[in-house]
Amino acid sequence: MTETTQQRTPDSRPTGGLSAQYQPGEVEQRRYEQWVTEGYFTADPASDKPAFSIVIPPPNVTGSLHVGHALDHTIQDTLSRLKRMQGFEVLWLPGMDHAGIATQNVVERQLAAQQLSRHDLGREEFVQKVWEWKAESGGKILGQMRRLGDSVDWSRERFTMDEGLSRAVQTIFKRLYDDELIYRANRIINWCPRCLTALSDIEVEHTDDEGELVSIRYGDGPDAIVVATTRAETMLGDTAVAVHPDDERYKHLIGTEVELPLTGRRIPIVADEHVDPSFGTGAVKVTPAHDPNDFEIGQRHNLPSITMMDERAVVTVHGPFEGLDRYEARPAIVAALREEGRIVAEKRPYVHSVGHCSRCKTTVEPRLSLQWFVNTGPLAKKAGDAVRDGRVTIEPAELSKRYFAWVDNMHDWCISRQLWWGHRIPVWYGPDGEVVCVGPDEEAPAGYTQDEDVLDTWFSSALWPFSTMGWPQQTAELEKFYPTSVLVTGYDILFFWVARMMMFGLYAMDDVQPFNVVNLHGMVRDGQGKKMSKSFGNVVDPLDWIERYGADATRFTLARGANPGSDVPISEEWCQGSRNFCNKLWNATRFALMNGATVEGPLPAQDELSAIDKWILSRLQHVIGEVDEYFATYEYAKVCDTLYHFAWDDVCDWYLELSKPVLASDDAAPSRRVLGHVLDQLLRLLHPVIPFVTEELWIALTGGETIVKAQWPAADKELIDDAAEEELAALQKVVTEVRRFRSDQGLKPSQRVAAALTGLGNVGIDTHESLIRSLARLDPPADGFTATATLAVSGAITVDLDTRGTIDVAAERARLEKDRAAAEKEAAQCRGKLGNESFIGKAPEQVVAKIKDRLVTAEADLTRIAAALEALPSA
């Protein structure tokens, strides 16, 4: 034995300063502050390294780190850390969005607690209050990003309302206005009667709500026509009834007029191909000022638009319903129609999709309003062309169809908001109706008044990839890092944000796209695949997981579920498993240090290595190649799964166990070097996903400065050894089969069994017999040995075991028979469901898939139990 092995007990061996157990709370903040202080994340535009850049999807200044952020940031950080190790100059640029409506609501609630409104303060003082709130309470998410481990360049943090970005907003507005790509018009928009502003589509959440469907007869006699509506109150603004031109039921009425009930007004019956004759009665009421489809019909037929509600959704039409809120007017109007005998049918409850303000949950009102719009036609065409011609790649590719469906059919974008917090529209009005758009280096003429509205938050965030790098100035950052390399975001904002960045980036940057790749991930769901919702009680707070299990465990759980474009299932049980994985790495590294693992110098020559060492080095090369391939296709789940099984199964469960006898011998030096090399490379491979524990372990193992700057592993084909892999696969199969038999027979892990091994030389593993016996707890045959059970392994190897005195045969047979009955029942139930055509036709696809998986498991159990029963010795 070596001097080290002779004189040191396991507890006194060197562990590189590693504690007995991994405590994330003692590591994470300390390591993160060191990374930032040392400037490891600061990008250098003067570097001659190839550039890699990502701009963070800016979280709201009001926001807190939720599980969607945690997934998005984990992926971005993984790519950023990977590229640093691969030798790129990496810029991951952080920042926040001013979140117009959300932030204004926060400050208005504070004022309301003091019995004040923003109007009591006035615009200037209110905006100052918002800035004060931002300085004192906003941006908590930035600190939470640090807890997750985000390797962003904090020296370049941006805010959509800071001076530079505000200049960029004013510059592009002026250019678009001068190119006649921005205009002001009366159009139907989403309106929040509580926030009193227009909303973008993404600020509207649709839910299935219970309402009523009322069928109303307009007119009398043979010329009467019936329409159905969920919003009876809007009939006060009807200016026509529309039918399909080919609908035989109504051809004789087209061009005639009918009296609108309760009003005395007569309205035309028009023919429009937009009407679906198979829906309802085939006739629809047309309210151009309160429905986007009706507005289009009104435009085609030159119909008047009657606004029958004000901005607070109160009826303004003169008559008995004037002054009623929309929800008061609806039953009142239905009652009046019923009294006149106009109600033909009523359906309650009637479930239909209803839009709600994402901030205050008020039901959104479609409303005809004078607003500012972007003419998206020419901009959207270029955004579509950039993907079609390959300048921009969407991953996964199948989501390109969804992208084209949006950009090829994009409506003009309403960009004005009736708020005080935001970028004020740089248009001024003269005393005689003059209109002038003012650029960043211009001043409005004396006596002119600025437009009261501010711009949609998405307008400024659409500039994010280039405004954050100094545009409209030609900066070193733009020269080096634009276009950005990858945009990582959820598929849910492919249209709302991605398409808009594409439009503005191509417009402002002379047809240069804002990013080369759009990497889309799915939504985070619970372990059963259900959408996370407070009402379901299944919402995960990533900060809670970080506190209890560590940032690495939280990140690994998210990344291990992240397949391209697919939703990401997670559960607390999986996070606990990820924590156990980190602990496994910790214990493996401590074991390696205690057993003299080394990292200095080249690997030993092949003829100095054992088959076990050759095998693990060969497996490592395969894993490096697989991980590189999966990263290239953004398959983070496969990266994690590959590294998890290599670390847990190959390294910890097999290599460390197989190496223990060698590490305690006089010939340990080659294996110690191999062990150090494998762990060094494994920690590097894992670092992008789990940065904290790998940093702590790598420094302890290697004595290096930081793993952040360590070189990414490269596969060495010279180390791939098929023969060693075949040899170890045969060894593992023998041990696995014996262990399975022992488990099936209920033997304790510590219980030793006498066994005779024959045929090991047939597959070249006879030199490993002592290892096999050690790992499988098998003693050599002694006097009186009698084989009571025989295992055939691959047909070439036989294991005869003497199980007398180790197994209660009767009890074991009874247990197995009970298990077999349960497995047969499970299999029968699954076959019954899968054979039921009615069930298959109605059940969700994922439910059917689960039942198929259950059947496969049950059938495998039956096969295993039958083999175990057959292997039992006779009583």
Neighbours of 252 (CB within 10 A): 11
Largest CA distance in the chain: 116
Structure-token match 């904002």, residue found: 493
Give residue 269's Cα distance to chain centre: 49
Secondary structure letter of residue 59 according to DSSP: P
Inter-helix orientation angle 123-136/100-112, to 10°: 100
Of the candidates 652, 660, 667, which has an alpha carbon nearest to the alpha carbon of residue 770?
660
What torsion, rounded to 10 degrees, do the Cα atoms 749, 755, 759, 764 define? 40
Rounded to 5°, the CA angle 667-672-674 comes to 115
Q: Alpha-carbon distance 386 to 271, whole Å?
A: 40
- CA dist list (Å): 478 to 51, 124, 360, 420, 508: 11, 34, 39, 32, 13
Helix (H, G, I), strand (E, B) or coil at 215: strand
Q: Taking a C-beta distance cutoff of 8 angstroms, is the pair 731, 765 a contact? A: yes
Alpha-carbon gap, residue 668 to 663, rounded angstroms: 5
| DSSP label of 609 | S
What are the φ/ψ torsions at residue 444 (nearest 5 degrees)? -70, 150
- Output 794-797 pairs: Cβ under 8 A, ≥24 positions apart: 794/730, 794/733, 794/763, 796/759, 796/762, 796/763, 797/730, 797/734, 797/757, 797/758, 797/759, 797/760, 797/762, 797/763
Instruction: Tell me what percent of the chain is helix, strand and coil, each rounded to the nearest 5.
Output: 50, 15, 35
3-state secondary structure of 534: coil
Please, what's the b/e burial string for 157-174 (b: 16 or more CB within 10 A of its CB; e: otherwise)? bbbbbeebbbbbbbbbbb
Q: What phi, psi does 374 have (nearest 5°)?
A: -100, 130
DSSP structural state of residue 717: G
Q: Are the C-beta atoms of 424 and 453 separated by less than 8 Å?
A: yes
- Hey, what amino acid is at 840? I
Tokens of 740: 């399975």
Residue by residue, DSSP assigns 632-674 as HTT-HHHHHHHHHHIIIIIIIIIIIHHHHHHHTSTT-HHHHHH
Dist CA 120 CA 357 (whole Å): 25
Tell whether residue 842 is among the known ligand binding residues.
Answer: no
Check: CB of residue 826 under 8 Å from CB of residue 860. no
Integer-rounded Cα radius of gyration of the chain: 35
Q: What's the one-letter identity of residue 85?
A: M
The β-bridge partners of 208 are 353
Q: Quote the Cα angle for 115-120-125, to 5°.
A: 115
**The tokens of 220 are what?**
């009398």
97: tokens are 């969005």
The C-alpha angle with vertex 18 and arms to 16 and 21, in degrees rounded to 5, equals 155
CA 748/CA 590 separation, integer angstroms: 28
> Residue 437: how many CB atoms within 10 A of its CB?
19
Query: What are the DSSP calls for 317-379, one per residue?
Result: SSSTTTT-BHHHHHHHHHHHHHHTT-EEEEEEEEEEEEEEETTT-PBPEEEEEEEEEE--HHH
Residues annotated within the binding site are: 534
Residues annotated within the binding site for ATP are: 534
